A and B are shown apart, each in its own frame.
Chain A
């Protein structure tokens, strides 16, 4: 991990109206993520973990405050600019994999590359590399329905890293997996962080999963409590 800041949230607030009530999720939240960090975010249901992940992923906008990513302010970007920004900078890993059921593993991994100008040949090479990295090169032609949960999540990881994003956002990446498979996935994320310098933010309920991260932030009622698990 370097000292360079990748993500900087400055006084971020988020609230929304539900019925006649205004619900505040964060009120003036500050947060910094350094390049090469592997951060786990834990907290009880309703603490704002997913909302925070959505803001970090550029799929939701704060009500107030500033969001800076690699010296670029992203909270003021338009919908289309955000889409481009996400395609260039963020890799997403979901709890339920969210693969396209009608596409085989290789096609699923190729999907984010359709947003680049890469040639067909280069796309193919990138897909092969990503699938080799998650040890699924021999499953390239398999459909999601022909794979186990762990394999599907590995395909999802390959899809997340294939365009070499700066940040991987994982939303309960092991929430649908058994312990053994979950550990495999977490080791893979750890490997991506350690060997390839990927910055990772992972939302999880699982304390075991959080142990794989370099640090854990506990979120409660929109406020962070930091614990250094390594200490």
Chain B
């Protein structure tokens, strides 16, 4: 028999209470793990953004178009390595409920500027040669069962063709993978030229430009040159580093970080109260037993550690199960294609979760542990 065995026996003496307390902690850490994974997914857009990539949008806001003539002007600026123009297509597959994040891009420049998109040589060749080509991310391909060679209809809820149809047919010529796990592989890309020629909405406008610089150190200089070039024109531009653009885009949804932190804080606070209350009750019920242990010669410090050990073990078990379950929950969510990158918890996040669990255990156990530490033997035995 060891102290750990005593802790275990004390914890398991009331199975229902143990279950409910562990379950409450489990839920809190399930929420924490999943929300942290979600936040990581949001942040990954920022983190995976290339340092040497800029985004140029219409100064009014990024939903306003820019003339396609801007592309060559930007390409000519010193310090610019490549420029790709992109348009939001507003796509869906078969039914508007099956949302498909679709972009019409300059097919050649796209692969140069967004080199985290990986295709085989054969796929690249086919992508460049066929103007009705579409490349799809492996997540979407898996979801819809697409394979190279398939011809698929992609509808737009914004644009239509001259004949009134809002559905385009494309040939899948490549299924791209992401260089990093969190690279978005749900989007699909089509040729801008084909889109521009066939759509009836008004041509020769682009949504925005992705600009790759020769060196990130030149970013500020290039930004200034681009925006100065179009100042006082009908289409003034605003150029920002891609990381800043992603951050601003996420911020448009709201202060996600604050919302998520508030949810987690609320969950932890409730757990603090539940587990703390449970520990206080549990130790109070054992006053006489603690008195007997002290009488037998157990030092107050050891009793203190035994009580604290109980709350820490309880929090670690509940927290560990919660984090473990959140990994499964994220894996399940990642299976379904969403515009978000994969939710994941890296080892640092898991370690942080366990540290939080340990802190939670210490905080919830400290009051009953101090009570046990200070418990007078005579008072305790009187309650026997």
- Chain B residues 292 to 327 lying within 8 A of chain A, measured CB to CB, are 292-301
Contact of A94 among B292, B299, B301 (CB under 8 A): B292
Which residues does A use to contact B, with CB under 8 Å?
54, 57, 59-60, 79-80, 83-88, 92, 94, 96, 98, 100-103, 107, 110-112, 114-115, 123, 159
Tell me whether A100 and B297 are in contact in the complex, defined as CB-CB below 8 angstroms, given that A54-B378, A60-B378, A114-B3 are known contacts.
no
Point out the residues of chain A lying under 8 angstroms from B329, CB to CB: none
Task: Kindly provide the distance from the CB of A115 to the nearest chain B CB, expressed in whole angstroms.
Answer: 5
Q: How far is the CA of A182 from the CA of B260 in the complex (A)?
A: 65
Is the pair B299, A114 in contact by a Cβ cutoff of 8 Å? no
Smallest Cβ-Cβ distance to B300: which chain A residue: A79
- Among candidates A80, A92, A102, residue contacting B13 with C-beta atoms closer than 8 Å: A102
Flag whether B288 is at the interface (Cβ < 8 A): yes
- Classify chain B: how many residues form its interface, as a range: 20 to 34
Once the chains bind, are A102 and B3 in contact (CB under 8 Å)? no
Q: Using an 8 Å CB-CB cutoff, how does the interface string of B1-25 with A read, 1 for contact, 0 for none?
A: 1110000011011000000000000
In the assembly, what is the distance between CA of A101 and CA of B9, in Å? Answer: 10
What's the dominant secondary structure at chain B's contact region? helix
Q: What is the CB-to-nearest-CB distance from A212 to chain B, in angstroms, rounded to a whole number?
A: 24
* B289 within 8 Å of A (CB atoms): yes
Contact indicator B1/A107 (Cβ below 8 Å):
yes
Cα–Cα distance between A59 and B288 once the two chains are bound (Å) = 14
Q: B231 contacts the other chain (Cβ, under 8 Å)? A: no
B289 proximity list for chain A (CB < 8 A): 98, 100-101
Q: B295 — which chain A residues lie within 8 A by C-beta?
A: 57, 59, 86, 92
| Binding site secondary structure of chain A | helix
CB-CB under 8 A from B349, the residues of chain A are none
Residue numbers in A under 8 Å from B60 (CB-CB): none
Q: Which residues of B contact A (CB under 8 A)?
A: 1-3, 9-10, 12-13, 288-289, 292-301, 377-378, 381, 384
Residues of B within 8 Å of A96, CB to CB, are: 384
The answer for the CA separation of A79 and B377 in the assembled complex, in Å, is: 11
A94-B384, A111-B1, A112-B296 provided; 14 other pairs, C-beta below 8 A? A60-B378, A79-B299, A80-B299, A80-B300, A80-B301, A86-B297, A87-B298, A98-B289, A103-B1, A107-B1, A111-B296, A112-B297, A114-B2, A114-B298
- Determine which residue in A84, A88, A92 has the highest number of CB atoms from chain B within 10 A of its CB, and name it: A92
How far apart are the CA atoms of A34 and B378 in the complex, in Å?
26
Complex-state Cα separation, A96 to B107, whole angstroms: 87
Give bound CA distance, A144 to B12, whole Å.
16
CB-based contact B299/A101 at 8 Å: no
Q: Do A83 and B1 touch across chains, with their CB atoms under 8 A apart?
A: no
Q: Do the beta carbons of B13 and A98 come within 8 Å of each other? A: no
Q: B378 contacts which of A59, A102, A123 (Cβ < 8 Å)?
A: A59
User: A54 CA to B300 CA in the complex, in Å?
Assistant: 18
A111-B377 in contact (CB<8A): no
Contacts of B10 in A (CB 8 A): 102
Residues of A within 8 A of B381 (CB): 59, 94, 98
Q: Closest CB-CB distance, A167 to chain B, in whole Å?
A: 13
Q: Please report the C-alpha to C-alpha distance between residue A111 and residue B302 in the assembled complex, in whole angstroms.
A: 13
Chain B residues contacting A102 (CB-CB under 8 Å) are: 9-10, 12-13
Q: How far is the CB of A156 from chain B (nearest CB, A)?
A: 10
**Chain B neighbourhood of A79, CB < 8 A:** 299-300
Complex Cα distance, B289 from A169, in Å, reads 18
A83 touches B292 (CB 8 A): no
Q: How far is the CB of B13 from chain A (nearest CB, A)?
A: 4
B residues within 8 A CB of A83? 294, 297-300
The 10 closest A-B pairs by CB, nearest first: A87-B297, A102-B13, A102-B9, A59-B377, A86-B297, A98-B292, A83-B299, A115-B297, A83-B297, A112-B296
